[in-house]
Structure formats: structure tokens, C-alpha cells
Structure 1
Amino acid sequence: MNLVTDEKHGKIIDVGSFQHFMIMKEKNEKKLKCMLCFVNYPVIKKTFIITNITNNDLQQNENITTLYALDPEARTFCFHDGKYGHTITNGAVYNRCSDIDFDSYYNGNFTVGIEGSRVGTIIDLGSSEDLKEKYKYSETVGNGQGFASIHRKNNTIFILKGNAYNNTFQVMDESSTLFQENSTASSSVILGHLYLVRITDHSNAAFERIVKMLVIAYRPNELVTIRWELLI
């Protein structure tokens, strides 16, 4: 034990005990830091996983997709797997699965049924307000009930009838047009409008793909964002 005199205050200080105290304090601080890191690791890991989700992952999970007019891959889209229709491989652009195109065939238009022997029909249903007025059903704030209610039974398309929560539906007038042989494969992109899409295949009578879409964002000559759902 080393004892020294504090001349200023006339006290004797145990230097050894003081050094021991400082060493133990430093060790305890290191232990505390380690414990904090251990406790926070799951939170840090979870935060990393959440923030590492890509925009494309979110789009696919939510059935929200943005098409880009000038992008060689992302101007077309496949409703079957929820991915872009083109792919760049070995220095070239290839078609992978293109159900719908934005802006390539006609400026400011959707075009459907564009690959191989596929034939497409697209019908502009108008806005949510248009549908509410036409079919006389009740909407909630934000006008999402009409789009949500559109569904298919066999070769007929239905939409909400009356109250949004009474589970009653009516046949859409556009249903017969959608299933006609004569098709309209292109339609203007209009913000806030709903669309029905039907794609068939001349070489495969069993093939059919029907989709409902809602344009939720649109910048002419640049991009369009759609909410979509397959009708099975």
C-alpha cells in the first residue's frame, strides 16, 4: 500500500486503493458498454432488415408498380409474377413476360397483349367518382370501395351494390365488352382512372389473364404508378 500526503488539505491518501478503484471503474464501464450492445443488437438487426427492404420488394408485396417510359426493362410489366417484362442479359434487352406496356406503342397510353400470339383488351372504367355515380353505390372517404369490390365470377365482372359493407354486388356493363373477341388493346393513361385488362392467347385457348388496375400517379412521358390485382 502506498500512502502520500495531500499537503494542501493535510490528508493522507491511499494511492494503491485509488488506483484499484480507477481500474475497477474502467472495467465496469466496458462491461456496461458490452451489455448495452448485446441488448440493442436485436433492435439494430431488425432496423437493418426493415430499412434494407427495396422499393421493388414493397411494390410487389403491395401490388403497386411503377412503369418508366424511358427504361428498357421497366416500361413493360408481367402480371403473372409481378416483375418487369424486359430483362437486360449479355448486353442486350430481351422480352421476358410483357402483359402491359407504357408509352412505347402510343404516347401516353397503356398497350396490352403485346407479346407473341397474345391478344389484349383494356377498358377505361373512368374515375371512382364516375363509377359511384353510374352504379349508385355508397363510397367511403377516399373512394376506394368501388375498386376494392370489383371481382370476377366465371365470365362476368361485378362491382359493389348499395352499402360498402353489405356484401351485395351487381354486374358491370363493361363485363360483356371485356369478354368479346374484338379487342381494344390500347387506352390513354389518366390519373385516378380504373381499368380492366383481359389477355388471351391465339395459340393457347386455355390461357386467360384478367386484371383490374387503378392509376395512382402519373407524369406524362416519364412514369405511371398503378395498383393492380389479378381477378381469378
Structure 2
Amino acid sequence: MNLVTDEKHGKIIDVGSFQHFIIMKEKLEKKMKCMLCFVNYPVIKKQFFVTNITNITNNDLQQNENITTLYALDPEARTFCFHDGKYGHTITNGAVYNRCSDIDFNSYYNGNFTVGIEGSRVGTIIDLGSSEDLKEKYKYSETVGNGQGFASIHRKNNTIFILKGNAYNNTFQVMDESSTLFQERSTASSSVILGHLYLVRITDHSNAAFERIVKMLVIAYRPNELVTIRWELLI
């Protein structure tokens, strides 16, 4: 006669008996539960991450659309259109075509932005300096990260304004560069400098109603390779 110990109840029982069958059945059920949990873990994990992804808000996605990287050696992505937020060139039927190029990176002059490059378009680009430069010049209060100056720059008619005093007082002052921006120019270029802010104005000799004004901030730069800008149309 073979005997085994029932660990749960502290009893010795016969192998092959009904009691032994019940014990073995309970052990098998426990093993099956463990196996099911292990097999289902990747599915549960995948569902968890999918839920997180779908919780991204439209505001986050919209914010990312105002950050663009231009690539010096890419036939499409070295120019950019502020009107629709897409690259200025397109490859169609085996050839590169201009689609809408408001600004160019590195093609006309190494390490430069160039504007006013399409047909009868003319452009002006002004390097405003860094956030620290603007804070020092216009004597307004910044917060950690120095983003208030860039955020506050806006247009009213033919005048550009920037923050005055405290960031949350909703008071502004005229920028000295405003008058220069609204002077008629031709094709214009400016050196790309990491951390600098720029104002861009593009008009059209053949269309008096056309005007495009943009503020930009260079947030990443590798010379002769790429530049990343945060930009916003000033309407």
C-alpha cells in the first residue's frame, strides 16, 4: 500500500483513493490558473498601453504641429510652408517640385534661414536674439525656462508687441523691431543660432493682399544637417 500526506489537512491517505483524487484535482486547478495568468499577461499589458495612447488629448497633438524640423540634405524637407504646416517641396513623378516654400534652410547660404524665395514673393527676417536678450532689453519678468517672451509676441495691425512687466498682467509694449519688419524688402537671410527668436514677414509684389507674418524659436540645431523650430503665425 502506497501512502501520501495530505499537506492541507495534515492526514496520511492512500494513493489512488478518492481523497487522493480530490487533492490531485485541486493541485491541477491551481497550476491551470497560474498558466492562464502567465499567458494573458501580454494581452493585459498591451491593453493597458493602448488605453494610455488613446488618452492623449487633441491639445497635445495640436501643440506638436507647431514644431518642425528642416533637413539641409533632404529634397523635400529643407523648405517649409507656414500656411499649411507642411514641407515646401514635393517629389512627384520622379522629380522635385516647389509646392509652397516660405522659408529655406541652408540651400542659399550655409547655416542660414532664407525667406522670400518664391516667384514675386519678398521677405524680411529679423533675428531678435535669445530669450535672455529680450528679457534684458524689454525689462519684463520671465519664468523658469524663459518662455514668456516668445509666448507673448503678437501682432495688432502693423505693430508687433511683446510682454511688459509681469507675465500674467496681460500688459504689452511695442517692439523696436516692429517698424523694420514692415519695411519692403527682397529675399532675406539670417544666420541660424540655437535659442534665438526670429520674426518673418513675407509679401507678394503681384498680390498686395498677401502677407504672412511668423514668429520662430530655434530649439535644436546641427550645422549643415538640421534645425528644429517652434513657430506660430501672427494674424
Shift of 1:84: 0.6
**Could you tell which deviates more after superposition, 70-79 or 48-57?**
48-57
**Could you tell which deviates more after superposition, 4-13 or 27-36?**
4-13
Q: Closer, same or farther in 2 for the Cα pair 1:8/1:46, shift >3 Å? A: closer
For residues 132 and 17 of structure 1, the distance between their equivalents in structure 2, rounded to whole angstroms, comes to 88
For residues 152 and 228 of structure 1, the distance between their equivalents in structure 2, rounded to whole angstroms, comes to 14
Shift of 1:85: 0.5
Deviation by residue 1:144-196 (Cα, 9 ceiling, x = unmatched): 10000000011100000001110000000100100011356110001110000
Are 1:66 and 1:226, in contact at CA under 8 Å, matched by a contact in 2? yes
Q: Closer, same or farther in 2 for the Cα pair 1:146/1:10, shift >3 Å? A: closer
Shift of 1:116: 1.5
For residues 9 and 193 of structure 1, the distance between their equivalents in structure 2, rounded to whole angstroms, comes to 77
Q: Closer, same or farther in 2 for the Cα pair 1:118/1:137, shift >3 Å? A: same
TM-score when scaled to structure 2?
0.77
For residues 44 and 194 of structure 2, the distance between their equivalents in structure 1, rounded to whole angstroms, comes to 40
Q: Closer, same or farther in 2 for the Cα pair 1:9/1:216, shift >3 Å? A: closer
SS in 2 for 1:12: strand
Shift of 1:117: 1.2
Q: Closer, same or farther in 2 for the Cα pair 1:44/1:168, shift >3 Å? A: farther
Shift of 1:62: 3.8
Q: Closer, same or farther in 2 for the Cα pair 1:31/1:54, shift >3 Å? A: farther
Shift of 1:123: 0.4
| Aligned-pair identity (%) | 97
Are 2:13 and 2:19, in contact at CA under 8 Å, matched by a contact in 1? no
Are 1:60 and 1:83, in contact at CA under 8 Å, matched by a contact in 2? no
Are 1:60 and 1:82, in contact at CA under 8 Å, matched by a contact in 2? no
For residues 156 and 41 of structure 1, the distance between their equivalents in structure 2, rounded to whole angstroms, comes to 60
Are 1:100 and 1:112, in contact at CA under 8 Å, matched by a contact in 2? yes
For residues 133 and 9 of structure 1, the distance between their equivalents in structure 2, rounded to whole angstroms, comes to 81
Q: Hey, what does 1:59 align to over in structure 2?
A: 62
Deviation by residue 1:53-111 (Cα, 9 ceiling, x = unmatched): 99999697341111010010100000011111111111111111100000000111000
**Could you tell which deviates more after superposition, 208-217 or 180-189?**
180-189
SS in 2 for 1:16: coil
Shift of 1:113: 1.5
SS in 1 for 2:17: helix
SS in 1 for 2:76: coil
Q: Closer, same or farther in 2 for the Cα pair 1:12/1:179, shift >3 Å? A: same
TM-score when scaled to structure 1?
0.78
Shift of 1:141: 1.1
For residues 215 and 45 of structure 1, the distance between their equivalents in structure 2, rounded to whole angstroms, comes to 38
Shift of 1:11: 13
Q: Closer, same or farther in 2 for the Cα pair 1:163/1:35, shift >3 Å? A: farther
Are 1:102 and 1:109, in contact at CA under 8 Å, matched by a contact in 2? yes
For residues 130 and 48 of structure 1, the distance between their equivalents in structure 2, rounded to whole angstroms, comes to 46
Are 1:146 and 1:160, in contact at CA under 8 Å, matched by a contact in 2? yes
Shift of 1:38: 15
Q: Closer, same or farther in 2 for the Cα pair 1:10/1:159, shift >3 Å? A: closer
Q: Closer, same or farther in 2 for the Cα pair 1:12/1:77, shift >3 Å? A: same
Q: Hey, what does 2:181 align to over in structure 1?
A: 178
Shift of 1:220: 0.6
Q: Closer, same or farther in 2 for the Cα pair 1:145/1:15, shift >3 Å? A: same
Give the number of aligned pairs. Answer: 232
Q: Closer, same or farther in 2 for the Cα pair 1:109/1:8, shift >3 Å? A: closer
Are 2:76 and 2:87, in contact at CA under 8 Å, matched by a contact in 1? yes
Shift of 1:5: 16
Are 1:159 and 1:170, in contact at CA under 8 Å, matched by a contact in 2? yes
